Every structure is written in structure tokens, then in C-alpha cells.
Amino acid sequence: MAEKMGCRARSGRWFGISVALVVLQACESPPPKPPDFGEDWKPINVLAEEPMQIPLKEEQALWTYQMLPTDVTLRGMLERWATEHGGKLEWQYPTDLTLVSALSSVKDNNIQKALNVVRHTYEKQKLRVRVLSNKNLLVTQRP
């Protein structure tokens, strides 16, 4: 029985040594190869020897009076327009109104032309919009 115990002890040692060798071999494996980008790959930040002129595209001026994605209601939009015109909004209409798709055509730097589209769009609601002499916008209901 002692012989069997010695055999088990020896086989256990050999097992431990073989596990250690396998672990050490795993640590010595070569690093993975970098991915192949193909022939179209170009390095970035390649600098030229001489400076080149790049023509600048002239920025198109933004319209002052237009409906923006941040506008939620007619009152909010006209309040912004009044501020951009240098005045304030005087809202005397009984309710606020939602914005409609017809207002997306408003793109102008002339407040009277922009307000004409608003007047036409809200004609059924009897909306009256006027620019006062002090640059304020007055919104009332027509009789």
C-alpha cells in the first residue's frame, strides 16, 4: 500500500509540473498580428512640403425671420421675432396658437413680408399682427 501512495504522490507532482509548463508556454505565445486594412489604407496627417490655398465657401446669411425647430407656438416665435426686430411682443389675442407647416415657407429678412405669411396662414383665426412705431409687435383678434 505504501508503494501505491508513493506512486500517487509522484504522479501528482508530474501533473503539477506539466500544468506549470503549459501555463508558461501560454505566456510565451507571439502577439497577435495587426489587422490588414487592405490597399486603400492611407496614413493620416501627411503634411505637404508647400502650403496650398483652399478656397473658402461664402457662408449663406441666415434669415432673420423664419420658423426654427426650437419654436413651439406662434406666440413664442413672434416673441423671438419681436426681440430680433428690436421691440417686444404685445399679445392681446385670447389664446396661443400652434405652428403649422405653412410657416416653414417663411424665410425673410423683412419683418413685414414675414408677417404677411403669418397673417395669411392664420386668416381663419382672425389674427391681426401689426408692427407699431416703437418696433413692438401687436397681436390682436379681428372683429
For 85-138, write each residue's pLDDT tens digit: 999 999 999 999 999 999 999 999 999 999 999 999 999 999 999 999 999 999
Helix (H, G, I), strand (E, B) or coil at 107: strand
Element containing residue 141 per DSSP (H, E): strand 137-141
Q: What is the Cα–Cα distance from 46 to 8, expressed in whole angstroms?
A: 67
Query: Any idea what the Cα angle at residue 85 is, between residues 82 and 87, rounded to 5°?
Result: 55
Once rounded to an integer, what is the mean pLDDT over residues 26-47?
A: 69
Judge contact between 98 and 73, C-beta under 8 A. Answer: yes
Q: What is the Cα–Cα distance from 73 to 121, expressed in whole angstroms?
A: 14
Is the entire prediction scored with pTM above 0.75? no
